[in-house]
Amino acid sequence: MESCHKFSFPLLTLLSLYMSFFVAHAEGSLTPRPFNNKITAGFVFGDSTVDPGNNNYVKTLFRGNFLPYGKDFRDHVPTGRFTNGKLSTDLIVSYLGIKEYLPPYLDPNLSIEELMTGVSFASAGSGFDPLTPQISSVISLPKQLEYFKEYKKRLQSAIGNRRTEAIIKEAVFLISCGTNDFVVNYFTLPIRRKSYTVSAYQQFILQSFKKVLQDLSDEGARRIAVTGLPPMGCLPAVITLYSKNAIFERGCIENLSQVGMEYNQMLQNELNSMQGRLAHLDAKITYVDIFTPLVDMIQGLGKHDFDEVSHGCCGSGYLEAGFLCNPESFVCNDASKYVFFDSIHPTEKTYINLFMASRPVIDSLIQD
């Protein structure tokens, strides 16, 4: 891994990396389930992969509430989602028959009826490491959990304790986070590398994750899905920064992806262990693999029909993300031909493919 530690990056490059990261997979028609009265709501915690616009209400540069983000969303409106259309969490709540989109909790215009069916607390740029959200001045995971507790109190005041508890008990929870910790915080910045080896940092992140999961369980969460890390070396921005000749050599940086693969195995082992410890609460905890589906899309396995897999639709696609992908940027004609919309974040089609790949996991999570 030493070769990854010798780069020094200009400020603009660092800022372009201080966005969030994620990946996704699989293709097919989106057929909603028959309306399921049992699943009451969806609640989401994490980073830009699942932030529908909370950062619009935070003093940070890490926002996506301007075009070309949202160019293929309803009415072509940029909402704060770091993609051209819907996020996978929007697809999930629609599939479950809850509602069409999962809104940001910090939107001051949400009605009680909207709150009752779920929100996202996620914040682009966040991570499990407490230092990660500080870098970009965004909402930490502990703060997201505080907002969830605040949310419960708001609901209790409006509809009573019993109804609130019933909503939480039968809701689906999703945690999608961790890529910023490794790509930005560990490999780009020198602070954590001075104190942690790669394996020690993986354990550090895992311990922070366990605290989040335990806190959610203590607050009543019983159906919890957790995404692993993507093949981080395949993100276009990472390829650009770590390739010897990024213009002509656009292959994945395998040693960074290997770190994600190792962490994912550790995460799965921990989830299996926690499932056993929480069995008496009738809890379900499941792992969502995003690593394999994205690798399949990038390698052209299956019938994905992507024309471009190593740079994004916005700008050059090599480094632009967040404010570097803006209304003045060049934008490709058809984002569905691209795995990535900017140099970090997937297109809506990629999120659709991810949803389709994870649907069996979702089905198992909501079954009694």
Q: Which residues are catalytic?
A: 48, 342, 345
C-alpha separations of 283 from 175, 277, 309, 363, 368 in Å: 15, 9, 38, 15, 10
153: number of Cβ within 10 Å: 10
Burial of 219 (0-12, 13-18, 19+ CB in 10 A): middle
Half-sphere exposure of 350 (CA within 13 A, CB side): 35
With contact defined as beta carbons under 8 Å apart, do 35 and 97 qualify?
A: yes
Query: Cβ contacts of residue 28 below 8 Å, gap of 6+?
Result: 352, 356
The span from the CA of 127 to the CA of 178, in Å, is 5
With contact defined as beta carbons under 8 Å apart, do 328 and 350 qualify?
A: no
With contact defined as beta carbons under 8 Å apart, do 104 and 52 qualify?
A: yes
C-alpha separations of 130 from 64, 104, 177, 203 in Å: 23, 22, 13, 14
Closest CA to 249 of 236, 260, 261: 236
